[in-house]
A and B are shown apart, each in its own frame.
Chain A
Amino acid sequence: MVIDDLNAIAEAERAARKKYTLRCCMAAGCHSSNSVAVKKALEQAVKDAGLEDLVEVRGVGCMRLCCQGPLVQVDPDGTLYEKVRPEDSASLVGTLKGGTTHVQKGDPNSPFFTEQLSIVLANSGYIDPERIESYIAADGYRALHDVLREMTPKEVVDEIIKSGLRGRGGAGFPTGLKWGTVAKTESAQKYVICNADEGDPGAFMDRSVLESDPHSILEGMAIAGYAVGANQGFVYVRAEYPLAISRLQNAIKQAKQRGLLGSGIFESPFTFNIDVRIGAGAFVCGEETALMMSVEGKRGTPRPRPPFPAESGLWGCPTLINNVETFANVAPILRKGADWFASIGTEKSKGTKVFALAGKITNTGLIEVPMGTKLRDIVEKMGGGAPDGAPIKAVQTGGPSGGCIPAEALDTPVDYESLASLGSIMGSGGMIVMDDATRMVDVARFFMEFCMDESCGKCVPCRAGTVQMHSLLEKILNREATAADLQRLEELCQMVRDTSLCGLGQTAPNPVLSTLRFFRSEYEELLKKETAHNGEPRAAIR
């Protein structure tokens, strides 16, 4: 494969385009509401109407407004159809010949769509994730070519540093710095891992990217491999994502067939292979050291850092590990330049962030917005607020490691530092909206139960501490707890945060701490009055 071959594929793909395209969402949300049958019915309807030469029915990735799926959008005019049923297909195709349809129409000009800025999801909803040609026609693998033929590994690392890209897995570590560290290590064998073990309740950003644009991940990983000197990559994806796994495997197969993975890519000396490793259902395997244990075929438990994976990772070799969304940003950065990327977002948080909007919100779905967008714009303007106009009480970000941001703080811009200052985290991008019917102690209990069940059991504070914190929360909810119990809960939160081995335990108290910070009265209202008959002995409190 040389650049002319790539251009030829793109040309052929563009030349094959028809007058109309019916883009039919085939990502998990719409998939589960029967979009496969819808697509089939549309294809049949096109055939029945004799419009095969004029109309292409294309299965695409996530079209974002998941709550209204299955979604179908018509090119070139952009008409968006919602909740499409297979039996609607004839009338829907009929509109192309001047007919009418009763199918519910969405508004592609609503703020939900217009306020978005797409880098990671640029291809999502447009290209066919099952066909590499579709990705190539959208400038796919061009960045890999340019990097391999025109840039040194150091130049690639410098470009990523310059872009200001930070890890999208949650902690926000500068990506270029991580790449540079791995690149500098001297080792005959290095690895690149893509962490696709998205496990936060209510989060589905990475799943959508994998289902909608798998080649962008492969291209990002290959570029990373070149930059750090690795020849082998692994995508660690959870078993609960069968569609993402099959699209990823299909994409790897196609990329290998086209010579875009394997040895001598673009006739350069660079060799890079990617294998998929499937998780077995443990949340903790999203923690990088546990993930690597699992890739090695061992029990997925974390180990103390340092040493960091960049020095000693998979099988003891230097390993670069980034999240799906991080890798998805790589090719666009190299294609359009670090300056372009750095011009988007805030001073310390560059680019965009994908969020999965869920919970008590009208527009459930996927959004991508520039860093620094106000929470209020996301939740009220784009998300349409809570259904039936109920007042929003809080927004939970960062999953079980994150916190609840109260409605008063909705004008906070979304970036790593602002969310941290509110006791929450950016996290991987799950955003759960809560209305005034939500009891915050319940929320804390829910997340604590999650952490308790998902603790690997290796270190004591996380294994036994989450159990005790959960039982204290239950006691509070049962109105059996005293002020001394609440104090004990807070002490445990601090201890588990400070002493746990990995991020799971260190952040497990966050949902409690953040709800205590902003909604303390809800805890106190549930407490039993303290008498001489109960509570902690005074002599025992130091």
Chain B
Amino acid sequence: MAAKTLTIDGKQISAFEGATVLQAAEEAGIPIPTLCHLDGVYDIGACRICLVEVEGVAKLLPACTTRVREGMEVRTDTERLRNYRRMILELLFAERNHVCAVCVSNGHCELQTLAYEHGMDHVRYEYRFPKWDLDVTHRLYGMDHNRCILCNRCVRACWHIEGAGTKNVAGRGARAHIISDLNQPWGDSESCTSCGKCVDACPTGALFKKGATAGEMAHNRAKLEFIVTAREKKQWIASE
């Protein structure tokens, strides 16, 4: 594989051809914030948190789906990007009912962590307070649509790591939501293997293990990485 030389935030680095800007930056120790990205499943560029500026390109590009090019000049941390990221986070908090104080994932939540990192001390947009239901029909797990940010990670983990294809998205716009099978109660799903990978993939507390109380539920991403590493590298060890 040929190597490509590029600059990220003024730092000259090299990356393998075909690598994404996100992978290249990670290798070089340059952090780019992400939300819908999950190691092991394909990227969809949906959350727009990892957008970066590329010299000579008018549009902002998602680091997770943009491939490195020779001589590329990437900026990951400009005033404009930081500002847009904070706005996107605020939009997410205003969109559904994210009540950190009573959330199972309080303290283990990627959305929350990103909000702190981006100086979000309040939300400037009107809270929508939509009415969403809870699906607790599954024996082991629950889905709280109030906390869902539609990152699609559960859907991709379900299809591409577990291969069950239970989770999907229905509806559009603000009414888009995660469903099980043909929009039936999760507990009635015949395809769900109850593996729990969707729960581990979830960045917030939308998918949770039953019985967890506020702040109690950590996500076990190592389990997903273990499987992906085994599949891709034929190594039966979870990477760090």
Q: Does chain A bind chain B?
A: yes
Known: A471-B126, A501-B46. 14 other contacts (CB 8 A): A304-B44, A304-B45, A452-B173, A455-B173, A457-B171, A459-B45, A459-B48, A460-B46, A460-B88, A460-B91, A461-B88, A468-B125, A501-B45, A536-B124
In the complex with contacts A457-B150, A459-B47, A495-B172 CB distance below 8 A = no
Contact present for A492 and B87 (CB under 8 Å): yes
Contact present for B51 and A456 (CB under 8 Å): no
Q: Is A299 an interface residue (CB 8 A)?
A: yes
Q: Is A542 an interface residue (CB 8 A)?
A: yes
Whole-angstrom distance from the CB of B59 to the nearest CB of chain A? 8
Q: Is A409 an interface residue (CB 8 A)?
A: no
Q: Which residue of A lies closest to B45 (CB)?
A: A304
Q: Is A381 an interface residue (CB 8 A)?
A: no
Q: How far is the CA of A495 from the CA of B89 in the complex (A)?
A: 12
Picked from B66, B84, B174, the residue with its CB within 8 Å of the CB of A463 is B174
Picked from A303, A304, A306, A457, the residue with its CB within 8 Å of the CB of B173 is A457
Interface residues of B in 45-100 (CB under 8 A from A): 45-48, 51, 59-62, 65-67, 80, 83-84, 87-88, 91-92, 94-95
Whole-angstrom distance from the CB of A407 to the nearest CB of chain B? 31
Q: Which of A456, A459, A540 has the most CB of B within 10 A?
A: A459
Instruction: Write out the residue numbers on chain A whose beta carbons fall within 8 Å of the beta carbon of B223.
Output: none
Whole-angstrom distance from the CB of A535 to the nearest CB of chain B? 11
In the complex with contacts A459-B47, A460-B91, A500-B48, A466-B84 CB distance below 8 A = no
Instruction: Write out the residue numbers on chain B whose beta carbons fall within 8 Å of the beta carbon of A501.
Output: 45-46, 48
Picked from B44, B124, B175, the residue with its CB within 8 Å of the CB of A458 is B44
Instruction: Write out the residue numbers on chain A whose beta carbons fall within 8 Å of the beta carbon of B45.
Output: 303-304, 459, 501
Instruction: Write out the residue numbers on chain A whose beta carbons fall within 8 Å of the beta carbon of B150.
Output: 457-458, 460, 463
Q: Which residue of B lies closest to A458 (CB)?
A: B46
Interface residues of A in 493-542 (CB under 8 A from B): 495, 498-501, 506, 536, 540, 542
Contact present for B95 and A542 (CB under 8 Å): no
Q: How far is the CA of A136 from the CA of B16 in the complex (A)?
A: 55
Q: Is B176 an interface residue (CB 8 A)?
A: yes
Whole-angstrom distance from the CB of B103 to the nearest CB of chain A? 19
Contact present for A284 and B172 (CB under 8 Å): yes
Contact present for B46 and A465 (CB under 8 Å): no
Q: Which residue of A lies closest to B89 (CB)?
A: A460
Interface residues of A in 451-481 (CB under 8 A from B): 452-461, 463-468, 471
In the complex with contacts A459-B48, A460-B92, A499-B84, A488-B173 CB distance below 8 A = no
Interface band, chain B: 35 or more
Q: Which of A304, A452, A492 has the most CB of B within 10 A?
A: A304
Q: Return 17 A-B CB contacts under 8 Å, by A number.
A: A299-B169, A455-B172, A455-B173, A455-B174, A456-B172, A457-B150, A457-B169, A458-B46, A458-B152, A460-B47, A460-B92, A460-B150, A461-B88, A464-B95, A467-B128, A499-B48, A536-B124
Instruction: Write out the residue numbers on chain A whose beta carbons fall within 8 Å of the beta carbon of B61.
Output: 304
Q: How far is the CA of A495 from the CA of B48 in the complex (A)?
A: 11
In the complex with contacts A499-B51, A540-B122, A464-B174 CB distance below 8 A = yes
Whole-angstrom distance from the CB of B138 to the nearest CB of chain A? 23
Q: How far is the CA of A306 from the CA of B150 in the complex (A)?
A: 23
Q: Which 8 A-B pairs have the closest CB atoms?
A: A457-B176, A464-B91, A304-B45, A455-B173, A464-B95, A304-B65, A499-B48, A468-B125
Contact pattern, A 269-313, Cβ under 8 Å of B = 1, otherwise 0: 000000000000010100000000000000100011010000000
Contact pattern, B 153-171, Cβ under 8 Å of A = 1, otherwise 0: 0000000000000001101
Q: Is A442 an interface residue (CB 8 A)?
A: no
Contact present for A491 and B87 (CB under 8 Å): yes
Residues of A within 8 A of B (CB): 282, 284, 299, 303-304, 306, 452-461, 463-468, 471, 488, 491-492, 495, 498-501, 506, 536, 540, 542
Contact present for B174 and A457 (CB under 8 Å): yes
Q: How far is the CA of A112 from the CA of B172 in the complex (A)?
A: 41
Instruction: Write out the residue numbers on chain A whose beta carbons fall within 8 Å of the beta carbon of B66.
Output: 304
Instruction: Write out the residue numbers on chain B whose beta carbons fall within 8 Å of the beta carbon of A461.
Output: 48, 88, 91
Instruction: Write out the residue numbers on chain A whose beta carbons fall within 8 Å of the beta carbon of B175.
Output: 457
In the complex with contacts A457-B174, A467-B128, A299-B168 CB distance below 8 A = yes
In the complex with contacts A459-B48, A536-B124, A468-B173 CB distance below 8 A = no
Q: How far is the CA of A186 from the CA of B51 in the complex (A)?
A: 32
Instruction: Write out the residue numbers on chain B whose beta carbons fall within 8 Å of the beta carbon of A500.
Output: 48
In the complex with contacts A488-B124, A499-B48, A468-B91 CB distance below 8 A = yes
Contact present for B84 and A498 (CB under 8 Å): yes
Contact present for A499 and B172 (CB under 8 Å): no
Q: Which residue of B lies closest to A484 (CB)?
A: B124
Whole-angstrom distance from the CB of A82 to the nearest CB of chain B? 41
Contact present for A457 and B172 (CB under 8 Å): yes
Whole-angstrom distance from the CB of B212 to the nearest CB of chain A? 26
Q: Which residue of B lies closest to A536 (CB)?
A: B124
Whole-angstrom distance from the CB of A59 to the nearest CB of chain B? 38
Q: Which of A282, A454, A498 has the most CB of B within 10 A?
A: A498
Instruction: Write out the residue numbers on chain B whose beta carbons fall within 8 Å of the beta carbon of A499.
Output: 48, 51, 60, 84, 88
Q: Which of A466, A498, A499, A500 has the most CB of B within 10 A?
A: A499
Whole-angstrom distance from the CB of A4 to the nearest CB of chain B? 53
Q: Which of A452, A461, A536 has the most CB of B within 10 A?
A: A461
Q: Which of B66, B91, B173 has the most CB of A within 10 A?
A: B173
Q: Which residue of A lies closest to B122 (CB)?
A: A540
Contact present for B174 and A452 (CB under 8 Å): yes
Contact present for B172 and A464 (CB under 8 Å): no
Q: How far is the CA of A464 from the CA of B175 in the complex (A)?
A: 10
Whole-angstrom distance from the CB of A316 to the nearest CB of chain B? 13
Q: How far is the CA of A456 from the CA of B175 in the complex (A)?
A: 9
Interface residues of B in 24-53 (CB under 8 A from A): 44-48, 51
Picked from B48, B59, B128, the residue with its CB within 8 Å of the CB of A460 is B48
Contact present for B173 and A459 (CB under 8 Å): no
Whole-angstrom distance from the CB of A311 to the nearest CB of chain B? 12
Q: Which residue of B lies closest to A300 (CB)?
A: B172
Instruction: Write out the residue numbers on chain A whose beta carbons fall within 8 Å of the beta carbon of B122.
Output: 540
Instruction: Write out the residue numbers on chain A whose beta carbons fall within 8 Å of the beta carbon of B62.
Output: 304
Q: How far is the CA of A495 from the CA of B83 in the complex (A)?
A: 9
Q: Which residue of B lies closest to A453 (CB)?
A: B173
Q: Which of B44, B48, B174, B176 has the most CB of A within 10 A?
A: B48
Contact present for B95 and A467 (CB under 8 Å): yes
Whole-angstrom distance from the CB of A541 to the nearest CB of chain B? 9
Whole-angstrom distance from the CB of B75 to the nearest CB of chain A? 14
Q: Which residue of B lies closest to A282 (CB)?
A: B172
Q: How far is the CA of A536 from the CA of B174 in the complex (A)?
A: 26
Whole-angstrom distance from the CB of B151 to the nearest CB of chain A? 9
Contact present for A468 and B174 (CB under 8 Å): no
Instruction: Write out the residue numbers on chain A whose beta carbons fall within 8 Å of the beta carbon of B128.
Output: 467
Whole-angstrom distance from the CB of A513 to the nearest CB of chain B? 16
Contact present for B48 and A303 (CB under 8 Å): no
Q: How far is the CA of A495 from the CA of B125 in the complex (A)?
A: 14
Q: Which residue of A lies closest to B65 (CB)?
A: A304
